[in-house]
Structure 1
């Protein structure tokens, strides 16, 4: 709350109109020369995960504030208004960006909050209002484009030696819970040929998941992130295994292909091992592509500023994922040292933050000239 209050204070110092919408988003607006034009929007989130770092989310908010400050210092007033948004609860429920985009559920029980408190109470604590959540939805005509500066949260830019990442889109996700049923039995007295080992079948699924993503054209990722073995005893042949499979790619067709291949692999492994295998979908999130014009403008801004850049997808969810379902979206990545994020060791240098902020400001200026 102190961070939000300080940000609101800084917004007001810049002469911004400041408000909190029903979804808990803190919004500051600099009016443009033509108040009837749709606004250019930038921002990110201020919340973080336990033991998280200083840059995830906060960089995008403060960079947007600095871009607005630079415009004020230079006496520049854009044709479009600018809105700076600190979205509510990105790390948990994403109620802020979903509320703004009109994709938020109206069922309070569907929100798994990080503190275990009802979503209604959490919103009230930051100035939101659950009964009026639908009022946070903005009209199609409200915004011209959305830009989010964010740390990469991975090691690709650092490996490439690039200062700026031009994000192609936010990946979609398909997640499954898989349960393998074998037969628990004595580890010493059960011959290898007579075993129905659930862990052997599950291990083959793990290897199949890794192999299908590695050999697939493009750059999808596939992860078995949880594995539970029963009875999990040293002298017992495993009788059951539960695991999760997470598939991600920016292309929905690739996701569909990965899902189809996963199902075929599971069917084959079940038949070959004699272990019944059940696959249950947990959730499905569609990719959000970046807008071609916004993406090209980011790349041009970086090039003209003399900053090396390359294209890459975002494999983590961001506020831009939901906002981009309604309005043209673009994301700017800056490097994360060692690829670390969601960690106290998360770090991006002052120079890298400056580079990202400069590209953000230059992109806003160019979009103001280009967009109606």
Structure 2
């Protein structure tokens, strides 16, 4: 039997699995279109399920359609879990989500190849519809809106009830998908970074500090549409001038916060939107993200105060409507420390960073200890056919996942 410190996943097998899965939903452009609940999604899930069974796992589908493979442990204790998603955006890449699922399967293959049984069962989870509703991870966390199926609108046109039934799930039994610490002792997700921090710092592995919280607000500005030539500058109620000040304020609020949050005005409409009319109505959205809940609250308060001042100065009426408030999920320090230790032992460079994109770990981390491992994304590109993480980088991430789970198996 091989010493666990010498274990290494089969890189050729992992990358072959990634390439095989990428054939399902591949478009002429080279992108992948595998929307949740589509025939392509079902085909991919079937293939992944086959690989789980071949790796020695028992497989089930819960009421939320989550595909869960379990590699039995030596003891009847809560599982160590890993996984991610295999659904894509309409023009996605081959690594987003997929790497985390297939690396988890490769970890189990490696354990089985070497006749190793950890203390804890190892579970690999394929979460349902991460790219849209996140219903799979929300159901596991118990945060899904059980009385509001209309909030979950699949892109394929059917009701969420019908979509879940197609996967082997059941909306009426959704509450049964909820897990607790009695089921999962910890969860570690491997994912491509989807940004350029690792590439810019030349770090091979990202030790994720947590998944940021997100606040989104809609802002409606009402001024007075009027003739652009005949309305004096000092009597205008220009909604777009007010909007421009808000855009700059959002940027300044984020820049002055010590935790380095991000904030974006990503949507803006102007009415009447004509060259010779002073704009009378503007609608925009603000997206703010940070690991600190206190920071997000401060940013919201500062924005509210600034908007009130801008409204008074521009003689406009401004209304703020909350759209989204997702609390951040910090990664467990003990898991971060373990990932760092593994990097040191494997001779891999690393850096600490937050995840500024949402992941299934955001929800699962609400019910158990959570950690995330990032590997680089070339040029920071994701959700695109240009998304690329090298075969070597995929293998490095999978090996870090393997040894992190082995160490956590002894710690928990």
Q: Which of the five TM-score ranges fits, normalised by the shorter chain?
A: over 0.9
Instruction: Please report how far the alpha carbon of residue 130 of structure 1 lies from its aligned counterpart in structure 2 after TM superposition.
Output: 1.2
Residue of structure 2 in register with 1:190 after alignment: 231
Secondary structure of 1:133 counterpart: helix
Q: Mark the runs of 5 or more structure 2 residues left unpaired by the alignment.
A: 1-41
Work out whether residues 179 and 367 of structure 2, in 8 Å CA contact, stay in contact via their aligned partners in 1.
Answer: no
Alignment partner for residue 54 of structure 1, among 79, 94, 98?
A: 94
User: C-alpha distance in 1, partners of 2:194/2:271?
Assistant: 34
Q: Deviations over 1:94-142 (max 9, x none)?
A: 1111111211111211213222321111111111111111111123311
SS in 1 for 2:319: strand
Q: How many angstroms apart in 2 are the aligned matches of 1:313 and 1:33?
A: 34
**What is the rounded CA distance, in whole Å, between the counterparts of 1:136 and 1:256 in structure 2?**
32
List 4+ stretches of structure 1 deviating above 3 A: none
Q: Whole-Å Cα distance in 2 between the matches of residues 268 and 342 of structure 1? A: 39
Determine the C-alpha separation between the residues in 1 that align with 2:182 and 2:77: 8
Cα distance in structure 2, aligned partners of 1:293 and 1:64: 20
Is it true that 1:217 corresponds to 2:258 in the alignment?
yes
- Match of 2:158, SS? coil
* 1:308-319 → structure 2 map (5 Å cutoff): 308-319=349-360
Alignment partner, residue 7 of structure 1: 48
**Which residue of structure 2 aligns with residue 45 of structure 1?**
85
**Aligned partners of 1:10, 1:350: CA distance in 2, in Å?**
20
Q: Which residue of 1 aligns with 2:382?
A: 341
The aligned counterpart of 1:301 is 342
Contact 2:142 2:179 in 1 (8 A): yes
Aligned residue in 2 for 1:119: 160
- SS of the aligned residue for 1:56 comes to coil
Equivalent position SS for 1:91: coil
Distance apart, 1:75 and its partner CA: 1.3
Shift of 1:192: 1.4
Length-normalised TM-score, structure 2: 0.89
Equivalent position of 2:132 in the other structure: 92
Report the counterpart of residue 329 of structure 1 in structure 2: 370
Structure 1 position 9, deviation (Å): 0.6
- Cα deviation digits, residues 201-236 of structure 1 (max 9, x gap): 000000000111112111100000100000000111
**Structure 1 residue 54: deviation in Å?**
0.6
Q: For 1:169, which of 199, 206, 210 is the aligned residue?
A: 210
Root-mean-square deviation (Å): 0.9
**Does 2:65 align with 1:30?**
no
Shift of 1:93: 1.0
Q: 1:65 aligns with which of 96, 105, 108?
A: 105
User: Secondary structure at 2:83's aligned position in 1?
Assistant: strand
- 2: CA distance, partners of 1:159 / 1:139: 38
Q: Pick which of 359-368 and 188-197 moved more.
A: 188-197
Q: Equivalents in 2 of 1:305, 1:157: separation in Å?
A: 17
